[in-house]
Amino acid sequence: MNKPFAITLDVRSSLANHTGMWRSERPVYTAGLPPCQHACPAGEHVQAWLYAAEDGSYESAWRRLVQDNPFPAVMGRVCYHPCETACNRAELDSAVGINSVERFLGDRAIDAGWRLPDAAPATGRRVLVVGAGPCGLSAAYQLRRLGHEVHVHDAGEEPGGMMRHGIPTFRLPRDVLDIEIARLADLGVTFCMNSKVTDLRETMRAGGFDAALIAIGAQLSRRAYLPAGQASRVLDALSVLGSVADGERPGLGRAVVVYGGGNTAMDAARTARRLGADDAVVVYRRTQAQMPADRQELDEALAEGVRIKWLRTIAAVGEGSLTLEKMTLDEAGLPQPTGEFEELAGDAVVLALGQDVDRSLLDTVPGLRVVDGVIEVDEAMMTGSPGVFAGGDAVPTDRSVTHSIGHGRRAAVAIDSWLRRQDPPAQRQERDPVPYSGLNTWYYSDAPRSVRPRLEAARRTDTFGEVVGGLDEDTALFEARRCLSCGNCFGCDNCLGVCPDNAVIKLDGANHYAIDLDYCKGCGLCAAECPCGAIEMVPEES
């Protein structure tokens, strides 16, 4: 008798019994749409690069990130991070500090000298990009990667657009910007600076370009008529910020009034403080709730001693002082004058009332339509002029670096199809992002959000040095690991463990799993116990 110890009967293994036949539903591994990715205007695959960062593979994380956005170090400083607003973790304790991890990766890449992947073999196609702001640069990067020859023409001396001429250095140090832009030159993007395009079709013809992208931003400061005496100084925010960015230190006086309620107003007021103003006052016609400025920008400004006058308009500007009119909100929430006035000291008034798109170039492009002051584009970012695309602040959009980068990427994809005489890739079917309720949050550990170091408020007003610091490596790793991995397997082995029928197989010892349908009875335990909702139960066809 040659039988195993303690076994007396001839047996067959139960493996002969295919209990998978009982099943009416089968588990399927899915990759859901994480809310962060859904919310990112640049289209970053946030969960995917956080996943890579979680095991310390910072370079792979950075490489995943730059597939969608070539400027992580810039973005990790200036993005208003709608991803964090959407992050599911906010419901558990607080959102993942996506933006601070992004900055960590961006800075790591700079320190380590990581290079962008090489361009694809040359296609022989040439694309003209007008404007070296984030939109133009993002498009140039994507087009270059695809192997096209890309020439970026910009009227300015150096590339960067508002990232260079608008955003103050205390939020975005220029060496960071320079390095990230220099990578595009290394990749083979041709920069033609000091070259304002005045006739698009002519420039395209002369340069033999097959397509063009208009990414000229909104460069014209909006003015307001202010009855002003001779001596008073009325400036616009963009020229003040632009000259400071160029290294000048214009004296604005001791009391500076900034007119407007957006981010530009905040930057102008914070800059005024650094230029020596004892009192920097923002005058805004509406209330805080209606203010377009990012909450964090407002907080930083307040921390630096900037004062805000809500519900006020400037009625007149005199010498060393100005007259404000108090406003009140009507039922529709619109500010209405009250006829009540007050005086405010002010040596200079800085207007930050928004920007308009310069039409002079646009009017040279046949077929291109301008509606409400911005360029009309279709789904694929193409204007009414075939082969001419547009994006960034010059088209209808929320105006931000992040949106512009997203436009640039989308336009590049569409231009690429256009060059290859193909239809632009079909808009991906809108999927719903994975909801918080789709997670089994029991499994996640409590972990409070990390906070970035900040320059002490008292020390900020005498330096243009960076205010917000980066996370150290341990903290960045911790923060990355707070990600719940919404809708995407992160290799926790729960499914492998909880199946009463051993029907989950781990492939290659790696974090890939499969269902053994010979034995899966379709109980749904694996799906229910997957922390991140990466398994879906789908009915079997009978």
Which residues here bind ligand FAD, judged by CB under 6 A?
Answer: 78-80, 130-136, 153-156, 161-163, 166-167, 196-197, 215-217, 219, 241, 263-264, 267, 358, 361, 392-394, 399-402, 404
Comparing C-alpha atoms, which of 405, 475, 454, 522 is closest to residue 79? 405
Question: Which residues, in sequence order, are CB contacts of 59 under 8 Å at separation 6+?
Answer: 109, 112, 114
Q: Specify the DSSP element, H or E, that contains 175.
A: helix 174-187
* Type of residue numbered 1: M
Among ligand SF4, ligand FAD, another protein, none, what does residue 443 contact (CB within 5–8 Å per kind)?
Answer: another protein
* Gap between the Cα atoms of 260 and 258, Å rounded: 6
Site size for ligand SF4 (CB under 6 A): 43
3-state secondary structure of 521: coil
* Gap between the Cα atoms of 215 and 178, Å rounded: 19
Tokens of 459: 């020390």
**Subset of residues 17 to 56 that bind ligand SF4, contact rule: CB under 6 A:** 27, 29, 34-36, 46-47, 50
Where do contacts with another protein occur on this chain (CB under 8 A)? 4-7, 9-19, 22, 54-55, 442-445, 447, 450-451, 453, 472, 474-475, 477-485, 490-494, 496-503, 506, 509, 511, 516, 518-519, 521-525, 527-529, 531, 537
Among ligand SF4, ligand FAD, another protein, none, what does residue 196 contact (CB within 5–8 Å per kind)?
Answer: ligand FAD
Q: How many beta carbons lie within 10 A of that of residue 415, not counting itself? A: 30
Among another protein, ligand SF4, ligand FAD, none, what does residue 513 contact (CB within 5–8 Å per kind)?
Answer: ligand SF4
- The smaller minimum CB distance to another protein, of residues 330 and 474, is found at 474
Among another protein, ligand FAD, ligand SF4, none, what does residue 128 contact (CB within 5–8 Å per kind)?
Answer: none
Among ligand SF4, ligand FAD, another protein, none, what does residue 515 contact (CB within 5–8 Å per kind)?
Answer: ligand SF4
Binding mask 455-484 for ligand SF4 (x = CB under 6 A): ----------------------------xx
- The smaller minimum CB distance to another protein, of residues 56 and 251, is found at 56
List, as one string, the DSSP characters of 335-348: EEEEEEEEEEE-SE
Look at the alpha carbons of 65, 67, 72, 78 in this order and tell me if their dihedral is positive or negative: negative
Least separation in angstroms between CB 519 and ligand SF4? 7
* Gap between the Cα atoms of 326 and 344, Å rounded: 12
Question: Which residues, in sequence order, are CB contacts of 148 under 8 Å at separation 6+?
Answer: 123, 125, 126, 127, 415, 416, 419
Expressed in angstroms, the distance from the first to the final Cα of the chain is: 46
Comparing C-alpha atoms, which of 275, 264, 274, 269 is closest to residue 301? 269
Tokens of 36: 């962060």
* Gap between the Cα atoms of 18 and 234, Å rounded: 83
Q: Per CB under 6 A, does 105 bind ligand SF4?
A: no
Backbone angles phi, psi at 308, to 5 degrees: -120, 135
Among ligand SF4, ligand FAD, another protein, none, what does residue 486 contact (CB within 5–8 Å per kind)?
Answer: ligand SF4
Pairing label, strands 512-515, 504-507 = antiparallel
Least separation in angstroms between CB 171 and ligand FAD? 6
Among another protein, ligand FAD, ligand SF4, none, what does residue 47 contact (CB within 5–8 Å per kind)?
Answer: ligand SF4
Among another protein, ligand FAD, ligand SF4, none, what does residue 328 contact (CB within 5–8 Å per kind)?
Answer: none
Comparing C-alpha atoms, which of 245, 133, 243, 145 is closest to residue 188? 145
Least separation in angstroms between CB 36 and ligand FAD? 16
- The smaller minimum CB distance to another protein, of residues 279 and 479, is found at 479
- The smaller minimum CB distance to ligand FAD, of residues 402 and 494, is found at 402
3-state secondary structure of 314: strand
The residues of the shown chain that bind ligand SF4, judged by CB under 6 A, are 27, 29, 34-36, 46-47, 50, 87-89, 96, 98, 483-486, 489-495, 498-499, 501, 503-504, 513, 515, 520-526, 530-532, 534-535
